[in-house]
Amino acid sequence: MIYTIGDVFYEALDSYSGVEMHTDKEHSKFFMGVKIKKDEYGVTIYNTKKGGLFYKEIEGEQLDVFLTQGWILGVYNVAKDNTKETLNTVANAIKREVGSSRNEKRYEFLKEKRIELMNKVSNIIKLIENEDNKH
C-alpha cells in the first residue's frame, strides 16, 4: 500500500503506541525515537536520536518505508537503524580498547553494552516480522 505523509500522520495518531502532544502550534506523536508532527507548514517526520540540539528530518530510504509500509514499520525501521549504528560505535570502541589501554572495566562495560544492543536489534527485527505477518 502507498501512503501519503498525511496518511502516516493519522495512522500514528490512531496508534496506541507512543505519546501524543497537542499545542497551539503543532500536533505530534513520539514513539521509539521518532517524532511525527503536523503544523502550519505540513507534516514532518523526525529521528529524535540524531541531530544534536535539533531533531534530524527523516528522508531517503527511511522515509520510503513510512510511505510504503506505514507508521509502525517505519518507526521500527528507524529504531533498528539507530540501534545498529550505536552497535557499530560500541564495536569500534571495543576494538580501540583492545588495541590500546586495556582498561578492563571499560572493556567489560562495552561487551555488556554490545550484547544489550544485539538483543535490542533482534527484538526490533521480531517486531518487524510480527507486523509483516499481520499484512
What is the torsion angle, in degrees rounded to the nearest 10, for the CA atoms of residue 46, residue 41, residue 59 and residue 80?
20
Full pLDDT tens readout for the chain, 135 residues: 899 999 999 999 999 999 999 999 999 999 999 999 999 999 999 999 987 788 999 999 999 999 999 999 999 999 999 999 999 999 999 888 887 867 889 889 999 999 999 999 999 999 999 888 776
Q: Is-contact 48 18, C-beta < 8 A?
A: no
CB 77 within 8 A of CB 62: yes
pLDDT digits (tens, 9 = 90+) for 89-108: 999 998 888 878 678 898 89
Render pLDDT for 5-16 as a digit per residue (tens, 0 to 9). 999 999 999 999
State the average pLDDT for the chain: 93
DSSP-derived secondary structure letter, 18: S
Is there a contact between 110 and 90 (Cβ–Cβ < 8 Å)?
Answer: yes
Q: Which of 124, 99, 47 is nearest to 91 (CA)?
A: 99
pTM for this structure? 0.89
In residues, how long is the chain? Answer: 135
- E-strand ranges in 1-135 read 19-22, 26-31, 34-39, 42-47, 56-57
Residue 32 in grid coordinates:
521509539
